[in-house]
Amino acid sequence: MKRIGMLTSGGDCQALNATMRGVVKGLSNNIQDLEVYGFEEGYKGMIYGNYRLLTSKDFSGILTRGGTIIGSSRQPFKLMRVPDANGLDKVEAMKQNYYKLRLDCIVILGGNGTQKTANLLHEEGLNVIHLPKTIDNDIYGTDLTFGYQSAIDIATQCIDCIHTTASSHGRVFIVEVMGHKVGWLTLNSGIASGADIILLPEIPYDISKVCEAIDKRHTGGKKFTILAVAEGAISKEMAKMDKKERAKEMEKMLKQYPSVSYKLADDITKKTGYEVRVTVPGHTQRGGTPDAFDRVLSTKLGAYAAQLIEKEEYGYMVATVNNTIKKVKLEECAGKLKMVDPHDQTVELAKSIGISFGD
C-alpha cells in the first residue's frame, strides 16, 4: 500500500488540477494499492487535520478544469514557526497529521512561499515532492512553472482587446499585469500583444523616458500608446531608496492611488497632457481553463513526480531545464527568486524593435 498526501497552497492558477491528475494517473498506472489524501485549503488543512480521501472519480475530467479541487490558502512562511492564536505549533501539527495518516510522502504544489515551507518539512524529516506553480514564473531552478503560459495568454488577450479602443479614441492606455517582484508575465505578454512600452520591477523607469516614448509615437503619427505595466513596477527614484523608505513611499502612494498604474497615469497626464486610461485584468489572469501548453507541461511534471515517488526519491522539486524534466534538490532553490535580467536577450531584442522599457 502506498499512501500519499497532496495539497495546493498560495494563489490558484489554471493547471493545479491537471498537475495533480498527472501525479495520480502516473502512480495508479504502476501501483496496485494506492491511497491519496487531499489536505483542504493548503497548509491550513495539514495544520488542522482537514483532509479527505480522494478517489479516481475526483481526478476524472479535471485536466481542463482551472482552480483546485482541494482548495488553497496563503500561509506565510515567516509565520510557520509562530504558534497560532491558540498556541498550536503549526510545524509539529503538520508532522503529526502526516504520521497519523501513515503517509509515504506529501506532494506540495505551490510557489515560492509554499516551496520554502516544503523545504522546512523536508528538513523536519518528512518525505516531500514539490511541484512549481505560479503565474509569475519566478521560481529559481526551473525554466517554467505551470500556470504561467495560460496567464500569458489571458494578459495578452486583454491587451489585444485594448488595442481597438485605444486606436479608436486616440488615448494612452495602461494595462496592469500581475507581478509584484518579477516581470516575466508582463515582459512576455507585452511583447506578444505589441505593447509600445513595458515596465518591469527589475528595470526601474524614468517617467521622462516614458513620456518621451509616448511623444515620439504621437509625433510620428501614432494616435495611441499602450503600456504593459507590472503591478510591482517602480520608478528610478523609488529604486534608490532603502527598503524602509520605499515601503513608506508605497504606503503613501496607495492612500492616493489604487495602484502604481494609476499613479503612473497621473504623472503621464501632468507631463504630457495626454488622456490616460488604466485597465487592471487582475485575477482573471489566474482563472479559466489551462491552455494546451500548460496541460502538457502539468502532465509531464506530475508523471515525473510519480516516478520519484515510486523510486522513493524525496526532497526534490520537479523542474523544467532546457526542455527536459528533471529533479532539483529543494535546498538548492528554496527561498530564491528567478528575476528578469535587465540584459536578458528577450529584453534586448524587444528594445531592438522599438519597445521602450522606460530606462
Long-range (24+ apart) CB contacts under 8 A made by 259-264 are: 259/176, 259/231, 260/176, 260/229, 260/231, 260/232, 260/233, 260/234, 261/174, 261/176, 261/229, 261/231, 264/174, 264/199, 264/207, 264/210, 264/227, 264/229, 264/233
Does the annotation count 267 as an active-site position?
no
C-alpha cell at 27: 502512480
For the beta carbon of residue 91, count every other beta carbon within 10 angstroms: 18
Please calculate the CA angle 129-130-132 and round it to the nearest 5 degrees: 155
Kindly list the distances between the CA atom of residue 68 and the CA atoms of 77, 135, 162, 318, 330, in Å, as whole numbers in the listed order.
Answer: 21, 15, 30, 19, 23
Q: What is the full DSSP assignment across 255-317?
A: HH-SSHHHHHHHHHHHHH---EEEE--GGGGG-S---HHHHHHHHHHHHHHHHHHHTT--SEE
Tell me if 19 sits within 8 A of 302, measured CB to CB. Answer: yes
Q: What is the full DSSP assignment across 323-352?
A: TEEEEEEHHHHTT-B-PPPTT-HHHHHHHH
C-alpha cell at 260: 502604481
For residue 239, give the amino acid letter.
Answer: A
Q: What is the full DSSP assignment across 178-224?
A: S-SS--HHHHHHHHHTT-SEEEBTTB-B-HHHHHHHHHHHHHTT---
Active-site residue, from 136, 138, 153, 291? 136
Quote the CA–CA distance of 184 and 104 in Å, as a whole number.
36
Q: Which residues are catalytic?
A: 136
